[in-house]
Amino acid sequence: MDGAVGRFAFETHFAFDENGVRFDSSQSIFAPLGTNQFYLTTGFKERAMIMGNTEGSFRKTSKWLNFIRHQIEGGTPHRTLHDQTQKEGRELIDHLKQKADDLNHGNFSADGCCINPDIPRGGEPISIPMDEVHKALSKGSFDYNPIELLNNPVIYEEPSQTVNISIDDVTPKRQKGTRESPKITEHTRKYVHDTVCHIEHGGPKYVLAADGTKSCLWLLIAFLLSNFLFGKRLQIFTDGHKALNAAIVKQFGWYNNMQIVLDWFHLCKKFKEELSMGMKGRKLRNETLRAVMPLLWHGLTNKAISYLENIPASEIKDENHIQKLIDYLGRNKSSIPNYDMRKRLNLRNSSNVGEKMNDLVVSNRQKKNGMSWAKKGSLNLAIITTLKINDEYHNWFSNKEVKFSLGFSQK
């Protein structure tokens, strides 16, 4: 048995009853193991998987673990540590999937449509009182028409009645099936797609991870149901990707109080990238950013589109990238709020908290130079990392159970 302070061996016993049935403590109490496998204590798993594997490579963790356990010779090889972590991740994925299936059974169809009439549909959204909105408006910019600033499709939701949800795909490089392959460029490189979801309401937070948008949304509706969050305003922050937004709309098409918001971080990133490729030089690119981003910050999407449409052809290097931005804004117009007003009202503008979670769950560990991942291997490690973020690892390692809770009921 591998423990936090070293490796232990225990004597086992067997006996026969009057019917000749053999009792073997090595197999009757503990599940049989394969060759060169060891039982793992909770302390070992916490050190190896939570303090080690989620922070650094399996090789580095193996060296550190064997050093502190005084097993420089005959310790745990990094490959064994990898296999142990993958096994733990698979068990947790199966557990969460079963938990979601059990919670959603009789409440949602396989495609996510609500079939239980007793689940709240959300009703009319509760907004911040208009006198507070006008007060915030009076302290804002006087460069724009106040009527235009107020005429925005995204409401100013009451925070106490809102669940903030950030959903994003994270893409570490996919591991190649063979080492012999032609040179791969960034355009032809394949990636593993893990989907990370960050949920926050009233302070407490929880993170989910899955192997794609559909699986993640299935976990999400189970989580919302389990925590009595249906009936609240669902404010979902995304990067505006067509497939992701379409999946969310399909999943929550039955729900009356849901809004997709294009988060500011991704909006800025999108414009910087496309304008770098679309404009002739950094100077023109920066001039365009200085003109367009204030319009978008104030939710004036139509004005931003008009500006892009009227950029002189002599300043454009590749018109396709400018058109991409025009289409992007047109497609996401209903999801672009007045970010300035939201900031003044202390409402969330970005999934930067979700971005941080993405870094903790996947990016920091899996997107380093030279690293590539099998699809299942990437998710197995990501799901173990969520145990750490959600402070669920004690319960999981000891009882093979997770609370799947924000920490308090929302009845």
DSSP assignment letter at 328: H
DSSP, res 172: P
Q: Can you give the pLDDT at residue 34?
A: 67
Q: What confidence score (pLDDT) does residue 55 get?
A: 84
Residue 411: its pLDDT value, please?
Answer: 42
pLDDT of residue 278: 97
Strands (E), 233-351: 233-238, 258-262
Contact, 232 vs 110, CB < 8 A? no
- pLDDT of 192 reads 56
pLDDT at 360: 57
In a domain, residue 390? The reply is no
In a domain, residue 145? The reply is yes
Contact between 98 and 389 under an 8 Å Cβ cutoff? The reply is no
Within-domain flag for 47: no
What is the extent of the structural domain holding 137? 130-382
Cβ atoms of 261 and 154 within 8 Å: the answer is: yes
Ranges of residues in the chain whose predicted pLDDT is under 50:
172, 174-175, 177-180, 182, 184-189, 191, 354, 363, 366-374, 408-411
Tokens of 184: 């791969």
Q: What is the pLDDT of residue 83?
A: 86
pLDDT of residue 178: 46
Residue 159: inside a domain? yes
- What pLDDT was estimated at residue 210? 93
Q: Is there a domain that residue 230 lies in?
A: yes
The pLDDT value given to residue 94: 96
pTM given for the model: 0.84
pLDDT reported for residue 12? 75
Q: One-letter amino acid identity for 355?
A: E
102 inside domain: no
Nearest alpha-carbon partner for 149 in 5, 365, 35, 301: 301
C-alpha to C-alpha distance for 320 and 53, rounded to whole angstroms: 43
SS3 of 199, please? Answer: strand
Q: Does a structural domain hold residue 221? A: yes
65 within a domain of the structure (yes/no): no
CA atoms within 13 A on the CB side of 86: 13
Dihedral through CA 51, CA 55, CA 57, CA 63, nearest 10? -40
The pLDDT value given to residue 111: 87
Count of the separate structural domains present in the chain? 1
Please give the pLDDT value at position 186: 45
The predicted structure's pLDDT at residue 369: 45
